Amino acid sequence: MQLAAAPVRADRSRYPLAVHLVLRRDDSILLLWRHNTGYRDGHYALPAGMVEDGESALAAMIRETREETGLVLASAHLQQALTMHRFARDGHGAGIDFFFLAEDVAGEPFNAEPEKCDALAFFPANRLPDPLVPYHAAALAAIARGERYTEFGWTG
């Protein structure tokens, strides 16, 4: 017996899904310097991107990692570290973010998208650069505390 997918109600909003890579080497984390993207240009950020239609979050993380850093990961390299329900008051609305942790990855990351990124480098986790995309900073702090779920941008 096959189950049919439930129809999507037109009055329900669709939440964009995004994936973010927390690539650790020793006690450092890989960050990119954003430019020409239209979102948080002039900020440090984790490698990240949107989940495309028909794509799983894990597949999106593998694709985005390759597109942005040149690293070829397998699902075995990635561990789901945090889920964030985020609300942005800058016109980007609400969404769900998945943060994946990768350690002991072979190869050297490089700037595979120079049109969107000026540079990438590893930074000590206890001395992250400024400015860092605010919700990335919040996510990294939550991961350091051992949290698996957090919210950002919502007011009580």
CATH code for position 51: 3.90.79.10
Tokens found for residue 76: 């075995």
In a domain, 99, yes or no: yes
In a domain, 8, yes or no: no
In a domain, 12, yes or no: no
Is residue 45 within 8 Å of 23, Cβ to Cβ? no
**Bridge-partner residues for 120, per DSSP?**
32
pLDDT digits 0-9 by tens, 15-27? 789 999 999 999 9
In a domain, 118, yes or no: yes
In a domain, 7, yes or no: no
Q: Determine the structural domain holding residue 32 and report its residue range.
A: 17-152
Is residue 58 within 8 Å of 123, Cβ to Cβ? no
Give me the number of domains the chain comprises.
1
Predicted TM-score (pTM) of the model is 0.89
CA–CA distance, 14 with 72 (Å, rounded to integer)? 30
pLDDT digits 0-9 by tens, 44-65? 999 999 999 999 999 999 999 9
